[in-house]
Amino acid sequence: MRLQSITLTNFRQFADVQTFDLTSDSVRPVSLLFGANGAGKTTFLNAFTWALYGTMSDDVEQQDRMITDSIWRALPIGDSAEVAVEVRFDHEGRDYRVLRSAALRKESDQQGVFSPKVQLWTTKPDGSSETVGAPQETIHSILPRGVSRSFFFNGERIENLVKKGAYAEVQKDIKVLLDLEQVERAIAHLPKVDRKLTADLKKHGGDKASGIQEAIDVLDERETAAQEELKVLESDLATLTEERDSVTDLLRQHAESAPIQAERDAVGNELEEARSARDAAIAERALLVATRGFQAFTDTLSESTAAMAQSLYQKGALPAPLKREFVDQLLDDGSCICGTPLTEHSVPWEHVKDWRQRAGLQAVETAWQQLSGQIAPLSAARDELCDSLAALMKRIGAERDRVTRLEERKSELDGKLRDSRMEDVQALETNRMELDGRIGVKQQRIGAVKAELQTIAKEVDQKTKERSRAVVTDELATKARSRSDLVQSVKRALEDILAIREEDIRRRLDAELKAVFKSITHQNHVPTLSAGFELTLYKDVNGVQLPVPKSTGENQILSLSFVAAVSKLAREIRKERRAEGDSVEDAGTYPIVMDAAFGSLDQDYQEAVSRALAKMAPQLVVLVSKSQGLGKVVTELMPYVSHLGVIETHTTAPGSVSDDIELEGMSYPYIRAAESDHSELKVIK
Amino acid sequence: MNEEHHVNGGQAVTEGRTEKQVLEELSAEERALLKRVLEIERAKLHLTAYDATDDLLAAVKEILP
């Protein structure tokens, strides 16, 4: 399927008739459309699914307001307005035009419910055109609804594709896309053909052959019953397995929360310790200031004291060269050191006594010496005080930071534990074991039924051989027998082909998925498609494969990789078509139309996804806003773009709302003030 | 992987066998019918209400008249 164009008529924001050309080739497969929030990107995406399937995605609000509001408002009561979407496309050598439309009569301002009708026309290679009788069914055969979700999608929601449950439907539809469905249908239909043929054999085959045929019929009935039972069993098993997986998930969350709990405890203890270390440092600082704080103010004091003492010393005031105790001794002895007798009130006595006044006391000098000895170390002590204070301040700061950090971490962990809603572990474990038991019983039964089917098949084979040896005289019966043999062996061959195709497709899809995923992500995660076509993601930890809990971003990349892989494989498989004979040139080609394609991915991923998709999709329609699309996305995609457009928003909002978009060096209107709210598809190239 | 077998309708399919091999093991008539059956089924894939029995029966009778 290759899109050629889309035409919208009064379709929600898109008033009147607006067309966008989408024809592209393998060199430039991309159509890029820019639009502001609310411009109608999601509407544009939904226009495709509405035209093809009559449905819009759940995220489209007010689904019953299909006709452009301004058109509806202006419509007189009693008149009718039309809403329509037409998509032109070609598929396997034929051109198609699908038109879904409805006319709605205005009864009130509210738009009523209407039933749109779908029409499909096809143009054959010879140019003749015809109406297709079963339009919806034909569209489903071109692109099944389930698969279409992989090709028309909202990037922000695409991760739903790989979520449990949703995938089962996708899985079913992939069978159509990858040519398994017709084989399955043939295998289901051929026994009915055989029954018709063998009815003739029973009627005309004579006793022996008829008897054998009756036995074969009984075996056939047993086979049908066993197959029915197998189907039921397998579906039960799937349900049980899903249930068990969700219980295991819950248990894993428990296991995940255990380390959080342990970390929170450790952080709690460390926080206590940090708080007391911080308080101790603060107390130490207080003590230091109280006991030695004065030293900080001795800066000028020591200098002035030294200067004061020096000047006293120089004046002879301090200390004296002569000790008073020495003079007193001379006066007591009554003799001078020169031998002169010192008689009281004599001239020498008076002279020596004068010296007594001028002599200093020993005690005073000792004090002075002590004092002068202390002035010098005072400055060193002051420096040391400063250093100690600085060290303490640093310690306090560090402890405060540690406390803050730990408080933050603890809050974070508290929150994590609070948010996980968990059932009791024991109850979960019991539940899991019980489910395991039930799964075991189902698996045993499945094994038994499969063995029974094998036995039946052998017996049928045996009987068929007996039948071929039995003497049949009637010509009709002989013919019926040969035909039945033919049908039987074709059915067996188809069963082989189905098994081969299933395995081949799974293996190739798996390889492709791995390659695409790896080209996008920088994480060492590996996606795997299991034997049951189930999608899982694991990482390799020292040779052990561990499942990875997928994040939204990861799921988006996984889904995009899956879409790209399916898209590529669908084309490849049809190119190498086998039993069905050759297929047409564009077989298995499907467009990818995506809104907000890059969802919440960061820039690196946006770039990698753009690159991967531009190369992998045979046709790509990308809807982006300025903020999503400019930059790396546009740089990656532009070389592949054949159509570039803007969904121009026209708004009645007051004030200066105009905005432009710059593309390839030119400026284009992006948002414009207008008399009615609507959007216009503007083609840039 | 070679020892593994898929069981389908009682026939063991050895891994590694190809679709081409399966086709080659068939007689000309069987091959013709198989191709015809797949063509019919594929052409009517979109019709859920379709009953293939008559068309398939006609195909068988065409090949073995």
Domain ranges of chain A: 2-143+593-683, 262-326+360-419, 327-359
Closest CA to A19 of A677, A671, A659, A645: A645
Mean pLDDT, rounded, of chain B: 77
pLDDT band at B6 (very low <50, low <70, confident <90, very high): very low
Q: Find which of A178, A194, A486 to mutate to test the B interface (most B CBs within 10 Å of its CB).
A: A486
Give A1-23 as a DSSP string.
-EEEEEEEEEETTEEEEEEEE--
pLDDT at B8: 42
User: Which chain B residue is nearest to residue A461, measuring alpha carbons?
Assistant: B10
> What's the complex ipTM?
0.82
Residue B4 contacts A, CB cutoff 8 Å: no
Are the beta carbons of A498 and B8 separated by less than 8 Å?
A: yes
Q: Which residues on neighbouring strands pair with residue A84, listed in sequence order?
A: A9, A101
pLDDT(A169) > 70: no
A341 DSSP 8-state letter: B
Phi, psi of A170 (to 5 degrees): -60, -45
pLDDT at A317: 60
Residue B17 contacts A, CB cutoff 8 Å: yes
Give A28-63 as a DSSP string.
S-EEEEEE-TTSSHHHHHHHHHHHHHS---TT-SST
Which of A181, A193, A496 faces B11 most closely, judged by CB atoms?
A496
pLDDT band at A601 (very low <50, low <70, confident <90, very high): confident
Give alpha helix (H) positions in A293-361.
Answer: 301-314, 324-333, 347-358
Q: Which residues on neighbouring strands pair with residue A536, listed in sequence order?
A: A528
**Tokens at A346, concatenated:** 């004599």
Q: Report the C-alpha gap between A268 and A386 in whole angstroms.
A: 35
Q: What is the CATH number of domain A2-143+593-683?
A: 3.40.50.300
Which of A182, A192, A456 faces B41 most closely, judged by CB atoms?
A182
pLDDT at A171: 67
A130 Cβ contact list (under 8 Å, min separation 6): A121, A122, A124
A492 Cβ contact list (under 8 Å, min separation 6): B9, B11
| Mean pLDDT for the stretch of residues A40-69 | 88
Residue A380 contacts B, CB cutoff 8 Å: no
Pairing type for strands A117-123 and A152-154 reads unpaired
Residues of A in contact with B22 (CB under 8 A): 493, 496-497, 500
A551 DSSP 8-state letter: P
The three-point CA angle A188-A193-A197 to 5° equals 150
Residue B1 contacts A, CB cutoff 8 Å: no
Residues 163-192 of chain A with CB under 8 A from chain B are 176, 181-183, 185-186, 189-190, 192
- Burial, A540: exposed, middle or buried (Cβ in 10 Å; 0-12, 13-18, 19+)? exposed
pLDDT(A419) > 70: no
Q: Report the C-alpha gap between A290 and A608 in whole angstroms.
A: 66
3-state secondary structure of A360: strand
Are the beta carbons of B13 and A499 separated by less than 8 Å?
A: yes
pLDDT in tens, A130-149: 998 889 988 988 887 777 87
pLDDT at A254: 76
3-state secondary structure of A268: helix
Residues of A in contact with B48 (CB under 8 A): 137
pLDDT in tens, A383-406: 888 999 999 999 999 999 999 999
Q: Which residues on neighbouring strands pair with residue A661, listed in sequence order?
A: A668
How far does B3 lie from chain A, in Å, by closest CA?
Answer: 15
**Total Cβ atoms within 10 A of residue A654:** 7
Q: Report the C-alpha gap between A585 and A178 in whole angstroms.
A: 16
pLDDT at A423: 53
Lowest mean pLDDT among A436-450, A545-559, B38-52: A545-559
How far does B4 lie from chain A, in Å, by closest CA?
Answer: 12
| Mean pLDDT for the stretch of residues A313-341 | 75
Which of A137, A190, A494 faces B46 most closely, judged by CB atoms?
A137
Closest CA to B34 of B18, B19, B44: B19
Q: Report the C-alpha gap between A633 and A622 in whole angstroms.
A: 10
Q: Report the C-alpha gap between B58 and B65 in whole angstroms.
A: 10
Residues 455-494 of chain A with CB under 8 A from chain B are 455-458, 460-461, 479, 482-483, 486-487, 489-494
pLDDT(A3) > 70: yes
- A382, A296 contact by CB (below 8 A): yes
pLDDT in tens, B24-52: 999 999 999 999 999 899 888 767 778 88
| Mean pLDDT for the stretch of residues A169-180 | 73
pLDDT in tens, A285-308: 999 998 888 888 877 777 787 777
- A110, A127 contact by CB (below 8 A): no
Are the beta carbons of A581 and B39 separated by less than 8 Å?
A: yes
pLDDT at B11: 42
**Tokens at A509, concatenated:** 């899809």
pLDDT in tens, A58-115: 777 777 789 999 999 999 999 999 999 999 999 988 899 999 999 999 998 888 888 8
Q: Which residues on neighbouring strands pair with residue A538, listed in sequence order?
A: A526, A547
pLDDT at A78: 92
Kind and range of the H or E element at A120?
A: strand A117-123
Q: Report the C-alpha gap between B48 and A343 in whole angstroms.
A: 155
Lowest mean pLDDT among A93-97, A434-438, A555-559: A555-559
Are the beta carbons of B7 and A493 separated by less than 8 Å?
A: no
Pairing type for strands A619-624 and A591-595 reads parallel
| Mean pLDDT for the stretch of residues A247-268 | 79
Give A132-188 as a DSSP string.
-SSHHHHHHHHS-HHHHHHHEEETTTGGGGGSTTHHHHHHHHHHHHTT-HHHHHHHH
pLDDT(A225) > 90: yes
**Total Cβ atoms within 10 A of residue A115:** 6
pLDDT band at A362 (very low <50, low <70, confident <90, very high): low
Closest CA to B60 of A214, A210, A481: A481
pLDDT: is B14 or A543 the higher one?
A543
User: Which chain A residue is nearest to residue B22, measuring alpha carbons?
Assistant: A493
Residue appearing with tokens 């209400």: B49
pLDDT band at A126 (very low <50, low <70, confident <90, very high): confident
Q: Which residues on neighbouring strands pair with residue A540, listed in sequence order?
A: A545
Amino acid (1-letter code) at residue A298? T
**Tokens at A166, concatenated:** 């949703």
Mean pLDDT, rounded, of chain A: 84
pLDDT band at A170 (very low <50, low <70, confident <90, very high): low
Residue A193 contacts B, CB cutoff 8 Å: yes
Q: Which residues on neighbouring strands pair with residue A668, listed in sequence order?
A: A661
Sign of CA pseudo-dihedral A152, A156, A162, A167: negative
- A282, A396 contact by CB (below 8 A): yes
Residue B52 contacts A, CB cutoff 8 Å: yes
Phi, psi of A162 (to 5 degrees): -100, 10
Are the beta carbons of B38 and A186 separated by less than 8 Å?
A: yes
The answer to whether the predicted template modeling score (pTM) of the entire model surpasses 0.80 is no
Kind and range of the H or E element at A370?
A: helix A362-419
Q: Report the C-alpha gap between A18 and A177 in whole angstroms.
A: 32
The three-point CA angle A555-A561-A566 to 5° equals 125
Q: Which residues on neighbouring strands pair with residue A660, listed in sequence order?
A: A669
- B16, B2 contact by CB (below 8 A): yes
pLDDT at A563: 81
3-state secondary structure of A497: helix
3-state secondary structure of A540: strand
Residues of B in contact with A489 (CB under 8 A): 26, 30
Residues of B in contact with A458 (CB under 8 A): 10
Residue appearing with tokens 């073995």: B64
Q: Report the C-alpha gap between A128 and A269 in whole angstroms.
A: 83
**Tokens at A257, concatenated:** 């929360």
Q: Find which of B47, B60, B61 to mutate to test the A interface (most A CBs within 10 Å of its CB).
A: B60
pLDDT in tens, A602-657: 777 778 878 777 777 889 999 988 877 677 778 888 889 999 999 999 999 887 77
Q: Report the C-alpha gap between A388 and A396 in whole angstroms.
A: 12
Kind and range of the H or E element at A73?
A: helix A69-74
**Tokens at A620, concatenated:** 């790509």
Q: Which residues on neighbouring strands pair with residue A641, listed in sequence order?
A: A30
Phi, psi of A158 (to 5 degrees): -60, -25
Are the beta carbons of B60 and A581 separated by less than 8 Å?
A: no
pLDDT: is A421 or A585 the higher one?
A585
| Mean pLDDT for the stretch of residues A552-572 | 80
pLDDT: is A668 or A64 the higher one?
A668
Closest CA to A122 of A159, A170, A84, A90: A90
pLDDT(A228) > 80: yes
pLDDT at B2: 38
A474 Cβ contact list (under 8 Å, min separation 6): A204, A205, A206
pLDDT at A304: 80
Are the beta carbons of A183 and B38 separated by less than 8 Å?
A: yes
Q: For residue A139, how many C-alpha atoms fall within 13 Å in the half-sphere facing its CB?
A: 24
- B33, A181 contact by CB (below 8 A): no
pLDDT at A163: 61
Q: Report the C-alpha gap between A680 and A187 in whole angstroms.
A: 51
| % of chain A surpassing 70 pLDDT | 90
Amino acid (1-letter code) at residue A284? E
pLDDT(B3) > 90: no
pLDDT: is B24 or A551 the higher one?
B24
Q: Report the C-alpha gap between A63 and A47 in whole angstroms.
A: 12
pLDDT at A442: 93
Residues of A in contact with B26 (CB under 8 A): 489-490, 493
pLDDT in tens, A486-535: 999 999 999 999 989 888 888 888 998 898 888 888 778 888 887 767 77
Q: Which residues on neighbouring strands pair with residue A527, listed in sequence order?
A: A537
